[in-house]
């Protein structure tokens, strides 16, 4: 990482020369050093089919560069020009209800349509050839927010591809029939061509069909991304990304496998700061070897013709930027630079108004720029520390929950709540993709994953054998890969690995079930697994309800570590207290050192370099906060020594503390062995 970027989405194709000149001058004044351009500009580049011309962008990119502003170029594929769809209805995206999307917004075409892919390839190739070697082009973004407005397409192209996909997966139709149990309701298929898309039916579809269709669709999106990336790579060597989100209908782990760095968009409000921070702790781990980017966030408030959000309170955007940079971001960018004059997003917050004056968010941008400059020298010489506690995040788990949401459960909010608990407990945490390497972690959480692959179970079991503590559940392991029920044991291989026996599974909601653990009693909720504790050790007892005397929390010693199974979700405030005690208990047992007593609303981003540990302490709730420094250190911003004990940070302020360490000693309170794993090198680092 050579510098920290501070950027904005910019649409020069919408403005005249004079305005562009004014924009560039204003960007310099505001400290914008990178812009992202082109993601909706297809009709400006190719007004008529075949008339590709990007001279305009070439000139803009050159002028930006002459003024010290670098560029990320996007492929313009989310908004195909009207000539691509007018009179060609078969190219349009079709939703589950069978409605065809029309021209006028975005994502209205089927991205699996052959002709679309061909034209998308041509415009991508043109941009790569014409613009890729310009000075100041630092990266590429594919498309814009894949599947943010639409999910699975039900057009006839997709139907054919679906059949091909199934044939490739199962080989013979009988295999599909067997795996999906299609004699149920006379679904039995004689050929792949007969397998329907999960469109309208009088009642629900087969779970295997629905889950597979979603996975098929996510794979096709990743395939499209890879196709575009390959075209760009033929003539450019800048890194490639996509501005994604955990809110979209994509499998981010798969999507980013062949991309070069991770980036995402987020528009969470201050009250929902966990929804903002979860991104930093997830995307840092999606492409571990490269820093991530916040590709879009609002400089003040989001809005469209349909409504608007409230402006962020003064100071919050600066705290967001400080948190992102300190937790591993290289870039922090806004949507958008100049308020849109036309379209459907005129009410959206911007940096500059449509008439060229500073918008309400302008001063936030100045504050971010000040923070960027202040933090840059420190962040360029330190790296984010790998956490010791990891939570597995899985978009495939999201799909299983979409097919089978129980009582309207949503994976994103479940996982965010779970994450928030660790955040509030001051435990430094990583959200990691399903296939992530587990080395360096001490405590692993696997909640809300209906289907857990054998490979994951095996990896997590080995993690426990080597001394880690693996906590699985609630809601984890009860479904097979094809979204069917296990027939040998309720949780399949997980039971064997964890050495538990599940007696029954049923929804505990509404049964007045009460569990007790760690000195707390709480109502038990969600689809639950009740354990027989002959082989494992009961840590949570069911005191009331239909399974009195059995347990909902059970642990087994596995090698040098443990597997802990949480069969039910303790609810309400008592449940929250119980879960906190549970996490605390296992954090202690696992010997977690990366934990602080930061109050709610104040966070610590831990970093390291050869000289030791650096904490960036940031207040995110605007109330100010305090934290205990475990030892004496140096305030790197004020350049003065600081004593151990209480450190206060003002509302939305940040402080950077360096802990001087002698060899073998660390800045973390409970660190005993003096070893902290470097996240980037994957080796153990002495601090
Ligand atoms: C994003 C999108 C932008 C803009 C923005 C408004 O999801 O990528 O193009 O629409 O939202 O908040
Ligand atoms: Zn389609």
Residue nearest to atom 4 of ligand 1 (CA): 335
Same domain assignment for residues 579 and 553: yes
Same domain assignment for residues 577 and 506: yes
pLDDT in tens, 99-156: 999 999 999 999 999 999 999 999 999 999 999 999 999 999 999 999 999 999 999 9
| Residues with Cβ within 8 Å of residue 116, at least 6 apart in sequence | 80, 84, 91, 109, 110
Beta bridge partners of 604: 617
Residue nearest to atom 12 of ligand 1 (CA): 302
Q: Of the candidates 583, 592, 404, 372, which has an alpha carbon nearest to the alpha carbon of residue 480?
A: 404
- Whether 599 sits among the annotated catalytic residues: the reply is no
Same domain assignment for residues 446 and 585: yes
pLDDT category, 322, cuts 50, 70, 90?
very high
**375 inside domain:** no
Same domain assignment for residues 539 and 637: no
Q: Is the pLDDT of residue 330 over 60?
A: yes
Same domain assignment for residues 543 and 583: yes
Given a contact cutoff of 8 angstroms between Cβ atoms, the answer to whether 513 and 571 are in contact is no
Mutate to test the pocket of ligand 1, among 14, 142, 265 (most ligand atoms within 8 A of CB): 265
Same domain assignment for residues 483 and 558: yes
pLDDT of residue 684: 27
| Domain that residue 624 falls in | 602-677
Given a contact cutoff of 8 angstroms between Cβ atoms, the answer to whether 383 and 609 are in contact is yes
Query: Is there an atom of ligand 1 within 6 Å of 145 CB?
Result: yes
Same domain assignment for residues 561 and 415: yes
**14 inside domain:** no
In the 8-state DSSP scheme, what is residue 83? H
Same domain assignment for residues 414 and 553: yes
CATH for 504? 3.40.50.880
Q: Is the pLDDT of residue 54 over 80?
A: yes
pTM of the model as a whole:
0.96
CA of 89 to the centre of ligand 2 (A): 11
**349 inside domain:** no
**107 inside domain:** no
**116 inside domain:** no
Number of domains composing the chain: 2
Mean of pLDDT over the chain: 95
Same domain assignment for residues 554 and 440: yes
Structure tokens at 213: 């269709």
Q: Final residue of a domain: which of 556, 590, 624?
A: 590
Residues of the chain above pLDDT 90, percent: 94
**469 inside domain:** yes
CATH for 662? 2.60.40.1180
Q: Is the pLDDT of residue 672 over 60?
A: no
For the ranges 140-149, 181-190, 443-452, 592-601, which has the lowest average pLDDT? 592-601
Query: Is there an atom of ligand 1 within 6 Å of 39 CB?
Result: no
pLDDT of residue 40: 98
CA of 135 to the centre of ligand 1 (A): 27
**494 inside domain:** yes
> What average pLDDT does the segment 189-198 reach?
98
**607 inside domain:** yes
Q: Of the candidates 52, 146, 159, which has an alpha carbon nearest to the alpha carbon of residue 106?
A: 146
Q: Is the pLDDT of residue 680 over 80?
A: no
Q: Of the candidates 118, 119, 142, 129, which has an alpha carbon nearest to the alpha carbon of residue 57?
A: 129
Same domain assignment for residues 499 and 634: no
Q: Is 112 helix (H, G, I), strand (E, B) or coil?
A: coil
pLDDT category, 678, cuts 50, 70, 90?
very low
Q: Final residue of a domain: which of 566, 590, 614?
A: 590
Given a contact cutoff of 8 angstroms between Cβ atoms, the answer to whether 129 and 232 are in contact is no
pLDDT category, 660, cuts 50, 70, 90?
confident
Question: What stretches of 193-309 show up as alpha helix (H) in DSSP?
Answer: 207-233, 252-257, 273-283
| Distance, CA of 278 to CA of 127 (rounded, Å) | 34
Ligand with minimal distance to 36 CA:
1
- Whether 495 sits among the annotated catalytic residues: the reply is no
Same domain assignment for residues 404 and 464: yes
Same domain assignment for residues 457 and 491: yes
pLDDT in tens, 417-437: 999 999 999 999 999 999 999
Q: Final residue of a domain: which of 590, 610, 637?
A: 590
């Amino acid at each position: 990482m050579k510098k920290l970027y501070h950027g904005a989405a910019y649409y020069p194709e919408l403005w005249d020369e004079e305005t562009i000149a004014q924009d560039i001058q204003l960007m310099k004044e505001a400290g914008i050093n990178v812009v992202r351009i082109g993601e909706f500009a297809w009709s400006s580049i190719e007004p008529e089919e075949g008339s590709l011309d990007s001279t305009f962008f070439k000139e803009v990119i050159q002028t930006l560069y002459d003024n010290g502003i670098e560029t990320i170029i996007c492929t313009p594929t989310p908004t195909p020009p009207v000539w691509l769809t007018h009179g060609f209805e078969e190219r349009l995206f079709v939703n589950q209800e069978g409605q065809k999307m029309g021209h006028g917004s975005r994502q209205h075409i089927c991205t699996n349509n052959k002709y679309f892919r061909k034209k998308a390839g041509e415009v991508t190739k043109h941009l790569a050839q014409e613009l890729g070697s310009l000075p100041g082009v630092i990266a590429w973004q594919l498309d814009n927010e894949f599947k943010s407005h639409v999910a699975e397409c039900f057009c006839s192209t997709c139907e054919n591809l679906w059949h091909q996909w199934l044939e490739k997966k199962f080989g013979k139709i009988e295999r599909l029939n067997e795996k999906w149990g299609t004699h149920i309701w006379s679904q039995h298929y004689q050929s792949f061509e007969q397998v329907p898309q999960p469109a309208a039916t009088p009642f629900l579809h087969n779970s295997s069909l629905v889950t597979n269709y979603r996975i098929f669709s996510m794979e096709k999106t990743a395939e499209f991304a890879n196709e575009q990336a390959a075209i760009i790579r033929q003539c450019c060597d800048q890194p490639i990304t996509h501005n994604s989100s955990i809110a979209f209908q994509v499998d981010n782990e798969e999507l980013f496998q062949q991309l070069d760095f991770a980036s995402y968009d987020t528009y969470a409000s201050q009250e929902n700061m966990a929804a903002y921070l979860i991104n930093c702790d997830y995307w840092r781990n999606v492409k571990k070897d490269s820093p991530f980017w916040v590709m879009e966030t609002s400089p003040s408030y989001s809005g469209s013709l349909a409504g608007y959000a409230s402006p962020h309170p003064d100071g919050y955007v600066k705290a967001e930027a400080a948190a992102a940079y300190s937790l591993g971001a290289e870039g922090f960018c806004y949507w958008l630079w100049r308020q849109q004059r036309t379209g459907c997003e005129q009410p959206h917050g911007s940096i500059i108004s449509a008439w060229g004056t500073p918008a309400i968010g302008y001063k936030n941008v100045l504050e971010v720029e000040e923070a960027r400059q202040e933090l840059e020298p420190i962040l360029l010489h330190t790296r984010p520390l790998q956490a010791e506690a990891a939570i597995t995040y899985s978009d495939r788990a999201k799909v299983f929950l979409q097919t089978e949401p129980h009582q309207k459960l949503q994976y994103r909010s479940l996982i965010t709540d779970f994450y928030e608990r660790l955040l509030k407990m001051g435990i430094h945490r990583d959200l990691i993709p399903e296939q992530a390497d587990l080395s360096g972690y001490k405590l692993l959480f696997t909640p809300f994953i209906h289907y857990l692959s054998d490979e994951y179970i095996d990896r997590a079991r080995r993690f426990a054998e080597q001394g880690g503590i693996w906590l699985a559940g609630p809601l984890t392991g009860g479904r097979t890969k094809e979204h069917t029920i296990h027939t040998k044991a309720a949780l399949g291989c997980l039971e064997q690995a964890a050495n538990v026996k599940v007696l029954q599974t049923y929804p505990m909601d509404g049964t007045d079930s009460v569990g007790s653990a760690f000195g707390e009693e709480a109502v038990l909720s969600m689809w639950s697994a009740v354990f027989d504790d002959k082989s494992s050790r009961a840590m949570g007892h069911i005191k009331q309800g239909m399974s009195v005397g059995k347990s909902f929390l059970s642990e087994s010693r596995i090698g040098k570590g443990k597997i802990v199974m949480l069969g039910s979700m303790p609810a309400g405030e008592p449940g929250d207290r119980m879960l906190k005690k549970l996490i605390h208990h296992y954090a202690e047992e696992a010997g977690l050192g990366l934990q602080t007593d930061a109050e709610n609303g104040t966070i610590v981003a831990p970093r390291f370099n050869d000289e030791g540990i650096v904490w960036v302490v940031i207040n995110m709730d605007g109330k100010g906060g305090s934290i205990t420094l475990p030892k004496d250190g140096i305030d790197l911003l004020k350049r003065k020594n600081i004593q151990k004990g209480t450190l206060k940070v003002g509302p939305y302020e940040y402080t950077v503390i360096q802990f001087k360490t002698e060899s073998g000693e660390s800045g973390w309170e409970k660190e005993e062995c003096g070893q902290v794993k470097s996240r980037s090198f994957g080796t153990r680092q002495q601090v």
